[in-house]
Chain A
Amino acid sequence: MDLSMKRFVSLAVAALIVGCGGGADDTGGEAADDAAGAGETAGPVVNPDSAGTITGVVSFEGTPPAPEPIDMAEEPTCAEKYTEPPVKEAAVVSDGNLANVYVYVKEGLPDLDFPAPSEGVTLDQTGCHYVPHVLAIQVGQPLVIKNSDGILHNINTQPSQNRGFNISQPVEMETEREFSTAEVMIPVKCDVHGWMEAYIGVQDHPYAAISGTDGTFSLENLPAGDYVIEAWHESFGTQTQNVTVGAQETQEITFTFSGEMAGLPVPLGEPLVLHADHAGVK
């Protein structure tokens, strides 16, 4: 069921790309040529002239669930960093906008090879909280794990398609790791402080963003084309939209989540399917 749906969607997308005529194909071709031609000089994979932007906002309807308070009494080092009582970030809503939504290009990108940026993305542990709470990273890009608290944290990543690691940081220090496979999403937890949670989205391309407290996000320098954009939230699940973006064009889209979506199953990576006959069961 799942598989056939996916196949249908990708077929449809492929049909759209072809149907749209030369535009998308050309862009893809050019970009691919760029990438190939760039070689070791590492020029841009995507020509900015033929690229567009998707921006938007994630809004929230209805009453968000009340933030769950965190009892940090056992960890005074962290507790004293707060002036307001600390709360969980399972649903951060302000003025009807939802933060911490992972928005990314799920389908539609031409077959390009995006080199991993050498600059790392930092996941900080401060006040017994992960900052940021949701993080976007590329395959092979360094994940800089930082302990600013100076007390014991362990970083236990629990992916299903990458190999999970679980490492200790008992003092202020930094450690680097990377992921080898695209995955939405990789939960991160600290077993010492059970309330600490973060999510890492891994793509083999740079088109992923996290909605800010104002709900906004932006996917820039996207080759003109037709895309399936997905928005993922840890408490409210996923939504997708088909978006067509032209060269030097900016498409504005809106995702709307609501309190009624809480409790729905939130996908965390694709299950490992080893036997086709089990696909339907899983």
Chain B
Amino acid sequence: MRRRAIPMAALAALLAGAPVSAQEAAPGRDVYDRWCAGCHGVEGEGDGAAAGTMLPRPRDFTTAQYQVRSTPSGALPTDADILHVIDEGMPGTAMPGWEDHLSQEERQALVGVLKGFSSFFESEAPAEPIDVGSPSGAGEEAVAAGRETYEKIECWKCHGRSGRGDGTSAPTLEDEDGLPIRAADLTEGWHFNGGSSVEAIYTRFRTGMNGTPMPSFSDLIEAEVVTDEQLWQVAHFVKSLSPETPRVREVVRAALLEEDELPATVDDERWSEVQRFYVPLVGQIIEEPRWFAPSVDGVWLQALHDGEELVVLLTWNDPSRSPDPGWDEWTAKIEAAMSGAAIPPAGAADTVSAADSALAGTPAGPASTPPPADLAPGAAAPAPASGPAEPPGGGSAVGHPYDTLIVQFPTAIPAGMERPYFLMGGADDPVYLWVWGSGREGIGEAVGHGFGDIRPLQGESILTAAAEYADGQWRLLVRRPLSGPEAENRLQLGPGRAIPMAIFAWDGSNGESGKKGSISTWYFLYLDRPSGKGVYVWPALATLLTAGLGLALVARAQRRSREGADVT
């Protein structure tokens, strides 16, 4: 009886409405505390425990500044606007969409919780959405006209001539809290906060994005500086800058080019015919120091071979050609903004700094640094055991914030699915690396035994590279004979095999070096087989073999059934 009393009492209370009234006090508050407060803070000030690792920082709800709205600049968002962001997330940030994780009721309740954090929702009249109408014009003419208006109203000042977020003002941009913020890379529509439809892009022009440098252009229509149609054309132009959201494939295919020379430059027209593969990159957050503000978020790969040589074209967006003094302030601001996130746990500090100084090619401590070992082909070959190779990123600590790209392979093509540790290998399972840096304008081969131990490969490099930087984009062409002189840890390439491959990238001007950079997981590079005689012989042989086996099987079955008949 007693045992039952408590649940009964609870039930009675429930029926009496006590929990319901508690819910009325703060509907959705429990959902907020569980799913939102970790980043946005208990009081909604954007200062949750994880906030320091994020750039841009989580929204501070107390100021009621919302980036993605349907309302004029400075106005409050509508409830639907807030719900939309909760549902869809902010693709260019750490904010995920919650549509699939929380019920409609819970998400709706969160809107009320968020609004409760700011008194503006009490003091200000609710705002009306801007009537954006429907898209006007489309097609090539609209895009071309949009490009002209893009130039005229100087969108390029921040977003760059080609839209890659590399405009002259890009290095100085700050958000409402004075933290560095990127001008959106308009060629990566899948990262647009607020969506990448033409309507969404146009709406951002009209509303601006509160809390960021992105202003509203609505006054231009009122002042007849541009027409509404022209603004729609800019939206069409911006939309045209992005390809469709790339499908990530695990296998990067190097087609065989038999009848022609392999392209030798990044500008070779034939590259436009070669299939492009997208490898997304993320910040290195496996090992300390972790990096939550990566600059390079993807690399496009195109590859060809002729049976003798492999050529790979790697293309990635990086708003700065490091080293670039114009980005020095940005570098300092990024380092300051992320310093709180990079504190290694107690005990790991020694290991980390040792690994870092190894990466930086410098003895720990003194600032007087010997010139790092040069991996460039043609330069004096690094002496054996001369110490670690030049660091990824060049190490801003030594004042050379280079851009770096590394392509990683195992040291031999594995027979099964066994692959070395994907983060620069391990002590017992080394990786074979192509290391390219903007400061050297050259490329070298190296062997990695983990992040802290990257050394030039002994002997002369068999790689050649050509790199070009324009309008916020690197294009790097790497050539290598499929088989080179036998050397310890040098991978020998060959067609018809799935060759594990991973990519690492560093943007020096973003304060990236050592473990602070972008990484990918393992992918595969597959070189098409030569379509020599084998292409015709092997299928024929296989057919014959199958037919033969089939005949033998039939014959055997017939024999058995005969024998069986004899027995009966």
Task: List residues of chain A with CB under 8 Å of any chain B CB.
Answer: 74, 151-152, 154-158, 160, 163-171, 173-175, 191-194, 272, 274-275, 278
Partner of A168, one of B63, B124, B168, B217: B217
- CB contacts under 8 Å to A, within B147-171, are 152-154, 157-158, 168-169
Task: List residues of chain B with CB under 8 Å of any chain A CB.
Answer: 43, 62-65, 72-76, 117-120, 124, 152-154, 157-158, 168-169, 172-174, 176, 208, 210, 212-220, 223, 225
CB-defined contacts of B117 to chain A, threshold 8 Å: 274
A163-B74, A170-B225 known; A191+B154 contact, CB < 8 A: no
CB-defined contacts of A272 to chain B, threshold 8 Å: 62-63, 118-119
Docked pose: A167 CA to B65 CA in angstroms? 15
Main SS class of interface, A: loop
CB-defined contacts of A154 to chain B, threshold 8 Å: 213, 215
Q: CB-nearest residue of chain A relative to B117?
A: A274
Docked pose: A107 CA to B115 CA in angstroms? 32
The 6 closest A-B pairs by CB, nearest first: A191-B213, A165-B74, A152-B154, A194-B172, A154-B215, A168-B215
Q: CB-nearest residue of chain B relative to A172?
A: B225
Q: CB-nearest residue of chain B relative to A193?
A: B169
Contact check, B220 vs A166: say whether CB atoms are below 8 A apart.
no
CB-defined contacts of A194 to chain B, threshold 8 Å: 169, 172-174
Q: CB-nearest residue of chain B relative to A175?
A: B219
Docked pose: A32 CA to B117 CA in angstroms? 37
Docked pose: A160 CA to B65 CA in angstroms? 10
Contact check, B62 vs A191: say whether CB atoms are below 8 A apart.
no
**How many A-B contacts if CB must be within 8 Å?**
95
Contact check, B157 vs A167: say whether CB atoms are below 8 A apart.
no
Partner of B124, one of A157, A163, A167, A169: A163
Docked pose: A160 CA to B64 CA in angstroms? 10
Q: Of residues B119, B174, B213, which shows the largest number of chain A Cβ atoms within 10 Å of its Cβ?
A: B213
Partner of B154, one of A151, A164, A274: A151
Q: How far is the CB of B266 from chain A (nearest CB, A)?
A: 28
Docked pose: A76 CA to B215 CA in angstroms? 23
Contact check, A165 vs B220: say whether CB atoms are below 8 A apart.
no
Contact check, A167 vs B168: say whether CB atoms are below 8 A apart.
no
CB-defined contacts of B212 to chain A, threshold 8 Å: 166
CB-defined contacts of B76 to chain A, threshold 8 Å: 163
Docked pose: A157 CA to B75 CA in angstroms? 13
Contact check, A166 vs B118: say whether CB atoms are below 8 A apart.
no
Partner of A175, one of B63, B74, B169, B223: B223
Contact check, A166 vs B210: say whether CB atoms are below 8 A apart.
yes
Q: How far is the CB of A168 from chain B (nearest CB, A)?
A: 4
Contact check, A163 vs B119: say whether CB atoms are below 8 A apart.
no
Q: How far is the CB of A262 from chain B (nearest CB, A)?
A: 18
Q: How far is the CB of B410 from chain A (nearest CB, A)?
A: 47
Partner of A167, one of B119, B153, B215: B215
Q: How far is the CB of A186 from chain B (nearest CB, A)?
A: 12
Contact check, A192 vs B74: say whether CB atoms are below 8 A apart.
no
Partner of B153, one of A74, A156, A168: A168
A170-B152, A191-B169, A191-B173 known; A160+B63 contact, CB < 8 A: yes
Contact check, B223 vs A174: say whether CB atoms are below 8 A apart.
yes
CB-defined contacts of A165 to chain B, threshold 8 Å: 72-74, 208, 216
CB-defined contacts of A193 to chain B, threshold 8 Å: 169
CB-defined contacts of B173 to chain A, threshold 8 Å: 191, 194
